Amino acid sequence: MGAYRGGLNNFAIVGLASKPLHVYGRPTYQCQWVQHQNSTSEQPVSSAGYRILPDWGYGRVYTVVVVNCTFPEPINFNNSGGRLVLRASTSGAGDRDFNLTDTIQILSEQPGEVDFDIFTSPPKYDYLYCGSSLYGSLSPQRVREWLAYHVRLFGGRSHFVIHDAGGVHPEVLEVLKPWMELGYVTLQDIRDQERFDGYYHNQFMVVNDCLHRYKFMAKWMFFFDLDEYIYVEPKNTLRSVLDSLSGYTQFTIEQMTMSSKLCLTDDYGKTYKKWGFEKLVYRDVKRGIRRDRKYVVQPRAVYATGVHMSQNLVGKTNHKTERRIKYFHYHGTIAQRREPCWVLLNTTDATDDNTPYVKDITMRDIAGTVKRFELKMIGPRLQHTRQ
């Protein structure tokens, strides 16, 4: 999928490999740096590659592998150019009489190409969002709402990386374009990976590629989905919350699960005019169940990552962030092209499908501010976006 520098003497390689081979065998990786032929430097430098399997066993035919190549000395430090070669060996797995080895040119650096200052310079962005694989028939309106909300929350020194696994159809692209033109959004075409049978559109590979591709571009990196909304209390700002957590490499965020169909009778006849997080106002309060958390990292100290947290990092993780930051989850609404309000209620609490709910207008109260922000930033060009 990709290969990236992690420093003066370090590289990360992100890709897919046979899951049975990695579950039942012991494949090995050898990294080698070869200087360009016109270089006066010494012989190629080699190092054992350290493999990381970050997908928690969720792989299918293929599993995600991150190979860390750490050399004993700075590589290409004179910027004369060279190439990184990976030798991937089965080490007798599958057939003990054979040690099959693939030799792959992973990365090439041209003379003068590497900007070594990036490893020590302040990052370009304060916050960078790494999105998971987008697929299926997504709602352009829900994407519109999510982007306007989070660009406002994250601020001017932020960036959003959207990964298209087939879900960015023309109507969704029209929603992304204004923010792409302003420099807030990068769209990555990852449709080719759909050929390979990995977990959930190879989600673990995609987030690891994003981690290493933008590792030195942001102070904080966020991992959550397009039906999830980060929220901080009005007395705080996102900056103040993250500053208070700067001693941690990673922190996780508590989920507020919202109904994807319960709305208010006050909105009868005008639900189609309201945004999703504005009209879906009933929060799941069932006790005794474990809810998934999402997370934020300081990427320079992270070697590999997952969907709900990283287990391969240097530093501390904080899971006690409930009073500082949380996220509202409108499960499945991003994939609905119809009006989500199926049931209209005029009560402060309700039960639906044996799940208790309470009225929570936290996000509803922010909707007007977000709409005005969108109008200020990109004008009325998205006013007629469809569900």
Question: What was the pLDDT predicted at 256?
Answer: 98
Domain presence at residue 383: no
Domain presence at residue 22: yes
Domain presence at residue 19: yes
Question: What was the pLDDT predicted at 32?
Answer: 97
Residue 316: how many CB atoms within 10 A of its CB? 11
User: What DSSP string describes 139-150?
Assistant: -HHHHHHHHHHH
Q: Say how many domains are in the chain.
A: 2
- Whether 203 and 69 share a structural domain: no
Could you say which residues of the chain have pLDDT below 70? 38-42
- Whether 228 and 87 share a structural domain: no
Domain presence at residue 387: no
Question: What was the pLDDT predicted at 59?
Answer: 86
Residue 98: phi and psi, rounded to 5, are -130, 140
Question: What was the pLDDT predicted at 96?
Answer: 78
Q: Of 63, 97, 117, which marks where a domain is finished? A: 117
Query: What are the Cα distances from residue 164, in Å, to 134, 167, 231, 295?
Result: 5, 6, 25, 21
Domain presence at residue 194: yes
- Whether 283 and 301 share a structural domain: yes
Domain presence at residue 287: yes
**Residue in the block written with tokens 């499960």:** 331
- Whether 227 and 368 share a structural domain: yes
| Residue 137 identity (one-letter amino acid) | S
- Whether 187 and 284 share a structural domain: yes
pLDDT digit string, tens, across residues 351-373: 999 999 999 999 999 999 999 99
- Whether 148 and 253 share a structural domain: yes
Q: For residue 64, give its domain range.
A: 3-117
- Whether 75 and 178 share a structural domain: no
- Whether 147 and 179 share a structural domain: yes
Using a 10 angstrom Cβ sphere, with 0-12 exposed, 13-18 middle and 19 or more buried, the burial of residue 229 is buried
Q: Of 70, 89, 117, which marks where a domain is finished? A: 117
Question: What was the pLDDT predicted at 308?
Answer: 93
Question: What was the pLDDT predicted at 221?
Answer: 98
Q: What is the CATH number of the domain that holds 41?
A: 2.60.40
- Whether 8 and 67 share a structural domain: yes
- Whether 62 and 151 share a structural domain: no
Q: Of 117, 150, 173, which marks where a domain is finished? A: 117
Domain presence at residue 385: no
Element (H, E) at 151: helix 140-154
Question: What was the pLDDT predicted at 158?
Answer: 98
Question: What was the pLDDT predicted at 40?
Answer: 58
Question: What was the pLDDT predicted at 41?
Answer: 58
Contact 333, 276 (CB under 8 A): yes
* Of residues 56, 6, 129, 69, the one with CA closest to residue 311: 56
Q: What is the CATH number of the domain that holds 243?
A: 3.90.550
Domain presence at residue 386: no
- Whether 79 and 149 share a structural domain: no
d(CA 130, CA 165): 14
- Whether 182 and 326 share a structural domain: yes
Close Cβ partners of 132 (under 8 Å, ≥ 6 residues apart): 163, 200, 201, 203, 206, 207, 223, 225, 307
